[in-house]
Amino acid sequence: MESRAYLKYARISPRKVQIVLDLIRGKDAGTAMAILKNTPKSASEYLIKLLKSAIANAEHNHGMDVSKLYVSECFVCPGPTLKRIMPRAKGSADRILKRTSHVTIALKERA
């Protein structure tokens, strides 16, 4: 059995999220939460909330034992990119790309 939680349209670049996801992949849920709380990256705030949601889904929807949960799968996909313009010299403009992310975390029980 597997419990999943999704975060869509997060206003953070997928590259920044991927760095933090690599730290928690395969770890126990409690260990993963401790790693996220002590990681000074902006993606950690989003992922703490998402991991709590995945744990709650596992406990309430599937009746899984919270102490046996581990992060079986976690990945990020790029969401839609917001295009903005920043004025530059001589009346020209540069395009600013504000990237978004779709993050998925899946938890399973250890046998």
Mean pLDDT for 69-91 is 96
Gyration radius from the chain CA atoms: 17
What sign does the CA torsion over 36, 40, 49, 20 have? Answer: negative
Mean pLDDT for 67-81 is 95
Q: Can you list the domains of the chain with their CATH numbers?
A: 2-109 (3.90.470.10)
- What are 3's strand-pairing partners? 107
- The span from the CA of 11 to the CA of 102, in Å, is 10
pTM beyond cutoff 0.85 = yes
Residue 46 — φ and ψ, nearest 5°? -65, -45
- The span from the CA of 85 to the CA of 43, in Å, is 25
Q: What pLDDT digit, counting tens, does each position of 10-69 carry?
A: 999 999 999 999 999 999 999 999 999 999 999 999 999 999 999 999 999 999 999 999
CA dist 103 to 15, 63, 65, Å?
Answer: 12, 23, 24
- What are 60's strand-pairing partners? none
pLDDT at 1: 87
Mean pLDDT for 82-100 is 97
pLDDT at 15: 96
